[in-house]
Amino acid sequence: MNEQLTMVLIGGASVAALMLLLWLIHLGTGNAAIVDAGWAGGLAMLAILFAVLGEGYWLRSVMIAGMAGIWGFRLSIYLLATRIIGHPEEGRYQELRRQWKTNISFKFLLFFEFQALLCVVLAAPFLLAVRNATPWVTPLEWMAVALWTLAMAGEAAADAQLNKFKSDPANKGRTCQVGLWRYSRHPNYFFEWLIWVAFALFALGSPGGYWGLISPLLILYFVLRVTGIPATEAQALRTRGEEYRRYQETTSAFVPWPPKEAR
């Protein structure tokens, strides 16, 4: 228990320091969206740090650190390249500034550090796996790797399709409805959630692994109810109006599904 607490404290301090650095950078750039890249990168960092500090079976530790590292750093780099570096601040963060009105910098500091706390909680599957000393990888863990591979491919495809659509000047102000985006308004969020299901499934092969289920449940809650779909769709309705309303009528919000006929 002392070893586990030490790992959590070291990990928490590390990701809190990362978010403080990113908050300072955001003060200079005026783009708070950098917190999203920090969230993904922070989780990847935690998985690798836990793998180094943990005393579990080396192959299991390498596998979970590798999966989390590939996922987190890919997403972080994608966000930096397509939404942060050289781009204006996303509308949902501009909306937060309008809502907060006063002490905005301090409120963003709390927001950034809350993401650090969330990273530590979400990293539960990583912590559980790297402390498992069982000297073999179970079929359940291999199933988790297969699901992770499928979900990673889906998320990368959704991101690539959206980025290609946005890169065409003729599509400025329009809604992407090609590829996976024809079947879900948020396929990136859906596959992101599946990645976390895979992490939790991997953790179930370790003692106390059921605690890892908190991660996909939290991700699902935030995506469906808080900062994911609600905020993204509110911004889409502000900027694209009637076109996006028609898209909402015909297309599944989350799980990819054949679209309905337009009214």
Q: Are residues 177 and 249 in the same domain?
A: yes
Q: Would you say residue 22 has pLDDT above 60? A: yes
Q: Is 148 helix (H, G, I), strand (E, B) or coil?
A: helix
Q: Are residues 155 and 230 in the same domain?
A: yes
pLDDT at position 188 is 95
Q: Are residues 181 and 227 in the same domain?
A: yes
**Percent of the chain clearing pLDDT 90 (strictly above):** 87
Q: Are residues 190 and 125 in the same domain?
A: no
Neighbouring CB atoms inside 10 A of 120's CB total: 20
Q: Quote the mean pLDDT of the chain.
A: 94
> What mean pLDDT is predicted for residues 69-86?
94
Q: What is the pLDDT of residues 125-172, one digit of tens each?
A: 999 999 999 999 999 999 999 999 999 999 999 999 999 999 999 998
Among 136, 162, 194, give the residue marking a domain's end: 136
pLDDT at position 28 is 93
Neighbouring CB atoms inside 10 A of 186's CB total: 24
CB 223 within 8 A of CB 229: yes
Q: Are residues 161 and 199 in the same domain?
A: yes
pTM of the prediction?
0.93
Which residue is associated with the tokens 């935030």? Answer: 222
State the Cα–Cα distance between residues 212 and 229, nearest whole angstrom: 23
pLDDT at position 263 is 54
State the Cα–Cα distance between residues 120 and 118, nearest whole angstrom: 5
> Which residues constitute the domain of residue 259?
138-263
State the Cα–Cα distance between residues 88 and 51, nearest whole angstrom: 36
Q: Are residues 113 and 7 in the same domain?
A: yes
Q: Would you say residue 92 has pLDDT above 90? A: no
Q: How far is CA 228 from CA 27, 42, 179, in A?
A: 24, 19, 21
Among 136, 164, 179, give the residue marking a domain's end: 136
Among 136, 168, 185, give the residue marking a domain's end: 136
Q: Are residues 112 and 154 in the same domain?
A: no
Q: Are residues 60 and 104 in the same domain?
A: yes
Q: Are residues 101 and 91 in the same domain?
A: yes
Q: Are residues 168 and 237 in the same domain?
A: yes
The HSE-up count of residue 205 (CA atoms within 13 Å, CB side) is: 27
Domain count for the chain: 2
Angle 190-218-27 from CA coordinates, rounded to 5° = 90
Q: Which two tokens stand for residue 227?
A: 């900062």
Res. 262 pLDDT band, cuts 50 70 90: low
**In degrees rounded to 5, what are phi and psi of residue 33?**
-65, -15
Q: Are residues 83 and 149 in the same domain?
A: no
Q: Are residues 13 and 28 in the same domain?
A: yes
